[in-house]
Homo-oligomer: A and B are copies of this chain.
């Protein structure tokens, strides 16, 4: 029997998965649930692909290519080589082993199975101890309004390498999406102690999750401290286009902007030491640590910091109620 989840992490792909792995390692086995962005999901070559869910699956399943942070370490590319030879679209890398998930997911979703159920089964196959929860069982697509026209996420992110200037984002299908029963069970459980927003891109990876109607309210209604880990270090993103997009949207790449973006949702923010000077100006509790997650020890340290801030806030609430 799986223990009840004590921590729920909201995550996009690579960066979020790093913190999720840290959380899994510092928590007792099975106590982590990860609520994963599916706005990046797309249909490619007729196959349904869920990049962020699979990155979590491979990371927590111990088979991820640690150098790149996504895909599998033990991968081969016969399919891709042949696709390229035949003149097929080769901008999205699909490993031979990776394809097993896409093929089975495509077939079973078409047969009416829920993504949540499917991912739970995949997680079990890969020996993942944490719960992997898609943000929605119905498709939501992150679309970017750019100077190059409206782009599906993977076309912007992978094919065009985040080059086009972004003017706005929308989440097609979000209005029809709903928090799943599996997520609501986690949020309603008395066991839950904290919600952690991973240092994923707030606009591309966390906003799609929050765009699901009822999601913000459900997270708040859990009553536990909600802590975000800032994706910025000294005004720059560790990886990906967070800072670039903030600039294009006319937002300063600073901790204040992150705090403001998550205003009304989060109770505290974990910052990098490089941003410590910003802490006092923020109207919320802050904990500073080194947030760069290169090693496993880094991931555990950042995870512990986020949990420490959540625990401190819980205690302070308990005191104020007393």
User: How distant is the Cα of A79 from the Cα of B103 in the complex, in angstroms?
Assistant: 10
Interface string of A54-80 (1 = CB under 8 A from B): 000000000000000000000111110
A87 & B125 in contact (Cβ 8 Å cutoff): yes
State the copy count for this chain. 2
Which of A86, A87, A103 counts the most B-chain CB atoms under 10 A from its CB?
A: A103
**A95, chain B: closest CB distance, angstroms:** 7
Contact B78 A95 (CB under 8 A): yes
A225-253 vs B, Cβ < 8 Å mask (1 yes, 0 no): 00000000000000000000000000000
> How far apart sit A100 and B78, CA to CA, in the bound complex (Å)?
9
Whether B83 pairs with A100 at a CB distance below 8 angstroms is yes
Q: For residue A86, which residues in chain B have a CB less than 8 angstroms away from its CB?
A: 100, 125
A95 to chain B: which residues have CB within 8 Å?
78
B residues less than 8 Å from A46 (CB atoms): 103-104, 106-107, 110
Residues of B contacting A76 in the complex (Cβ-Cβ under 8 angstroms):
76, 78, 96
Which residues in chain A, 99-119, are within 8 Å of chain B measured between CB atoms?
99-100, 103-104, 106-107, 110
Q: A45-B103, A47-B103, A125-B87 are in contact. Are A96 and B82 (CB under 8 A)?
A: yes
Given A46-B110, A97-B82, A88–B75 Cβ distance below 8 Å?
A: no
Contacting residues, chain B, for A77 (C-beta < 8 A):
96
CA distance A106 to B86 in the complex (A): 16
* Structural contact, B79 and A97, CB atoms closer than 8 A: yes
When C-beta atoms are compared, the residue in chain B nearest to A97 turns out to be: B82
Please state if A97 and B125 are interface contacts (CB–CB under 8 Å): no
Asked if A152 lies at the interface with its beta carbon under 8 angstroms from chain B, I say no
Q: How far is the CB of A100 from chain B (nearest CB, A)?
A: 5
Contacts of A47 in B (CB 8 A): 103
- Set of chain B residues within 8 Å of A78, measured between Cβ atoms: 75-76, 78, 95-97
A298 touches B (CB below 8 Å): no
A232 CB to closest chain B CB (Å) equals: 37
Nearest chain B residue, comparing its CB with the CB of A72: B82
Whether a CB of chain B sits under 8 angstroms from the CB of A81 is yes
* A83→B77 CA distance, assembly (Å): 15
CA distance A205 to B79 in the complex (A): 29
